[in-house]
Amino acid sequence: MEYRRLGKSGLQVSALSLGSWVTFGNQISDDVAEQLMIKAYEAGVNFFDNSETYAHGKSEIVMGNILKKLNWDRDTWMVSSKAFWGRTENPKPNQKGLMRKHLVEGCHAALKRLQVEYLDLYFCHRPDVNTPIEETVWTMHNLVTQGKILYWGTSEWNAQQITEAHYWCVKNSLIAPVVEQPQYNMLQRTKVEADYVPLYETFGLGTTIWSPLVSGLLTDKYFDGSVKEEKTRMDLMAWLKERAMGDTVKLEKIRKLYELAKENGMPLSHLGLCWCLKNKNVSTVILGASKVSQLEENLKSLDSLPKLTDEVMAKIEEILQNKPLSVAF
């Protein structure tokens, strides 16, 4: 396993980590969840990603039970939670959002579900236009000083919102966010490759990127026919299927990527994951898996990294034709 610094912080995070969205407490049994965590940990993964909203809190309960059972040394792994959407399907006012009340109560509830004394990372899962950023920043600072969270960050905030958070931190000598959790993959590039560019240097922003395989679309099974034999996330979530597979031009590009991966002796998943890892502003690529065999394949992607030569990267760019324009300073 390779370890990277989480932005300018001293925290070392495994280049591949494991998340629980859709899977834990929902698509997969608790036994499979446990096997996934063991497989990941044994391969050197030290970060497990979660959120209050995943399976309405059940994902954290499942992960917490597994962490307790396995009893790994607490200083060898990290766990996150995220607040914003709330835990219930129809949250009442103050059961969601980034106001002091929900952030504090959401943190306490996540600590209980995960059965830990502190969260290593706590994310603001989306920006909250109804709460002043100053209130959110002060709350996160206080949670750090109380020892309830160690590092904090944002997810899918825009560059302006992250900059505003840093403004309040500098103004009041508060502990600043170190990390953003954006979607990043071959089809979704703008935030990471253009919008955030000034933030990496200025604030030392790290990134824990999600859906590196576009919810599984960047895997062989959709192109070699094997998908017919199994129920996938696309079957569970119709809106996601429409978003991911409704665009024939996009699908044709992915078919070409599948062929390129084959020519270079690797599965499409490796091409997709290594392409993310090649970006030095990516601190960790969060993997998702509904089967142990998927995770095994994905963890091996580090071995394929040398195959993504400049020539292969140029061929990928030629297929994608979606390189975002860099921001002008």
Ligand X SMILES: NC(=O)c1ccc[n+]([C@@H]2O[C@H](COP(=O)([O-])OP(=O)(O)OC[C@H]3O[C@@H](n4cnc5c(N)ncnc54)[C@H](OP(=O)(O)O)[C@@H]3O)[C@@H](O)[C@H]2O)c1
Which residues of the chain form contacts with ligand X (CB under 6 A)?
19-21, 23, 49, 155-156, 181, 210-216, 219, 221, 232-233, 269, 286-290, 294, 297-298
Please give the DSSP secondary-structure letter assigned to residue 306: G
Pairing of strands 16-19, 206-209: unpaired
Q: Which residue has the tokens 């017919």?
A: 228
Q: Is 54 one of the annotated active-site residues of the chain?
A: yes
The CB-of-58 to ligand X minimum distance in angstroms stands at 14
Rounded distance, CA 15 to CA 94, Å? 35
Name the residue nearer to ligand X (CB basis): 151 or 210.
Answer: 210
Tokens at 106, concatenated: 């959401």
Name the residue nearer to ligand X (CB basis): 131 or 269.
Answer: 269
The CB-of-236 to ligand X minimum distance in angstroms stands at 7
Of 54, 122, 184, 258, which residue is the catalytic one? Answer: 54
The CB-of-17 to ligand X minimum distance in angstroms stands at 8
The CB-of-209 to ligand X minimum distance in angstroms stands at 8
Percentages helix, strand, coil for the chain (3-state, rounded to 5) are 50, 15, 35
Rounded distance, CA 220 to CA 224, Å? 6
Name the residue nearer to ligand X (CB basis): 124 or 308.
Answer: 124
Other beta carbons within 10 Å of 33: 23
Tokens at 166, concatenated: 């840093």
The CB-of-66 to ligand X minimum distance in angstroms stands at 15
Name the residue nearer to ligand X (CB basis): 131 or 215.
Answer: 215
DSSP letter string, 1-60: --EEE-TTSS-EEESEEEE-TTIIIIIS-HHHHHHHHHHHHHTT--EEE--TTGGGGHHH
Tokens at 70, concatenated: 């396995």
Active-site annotation, residues: 54
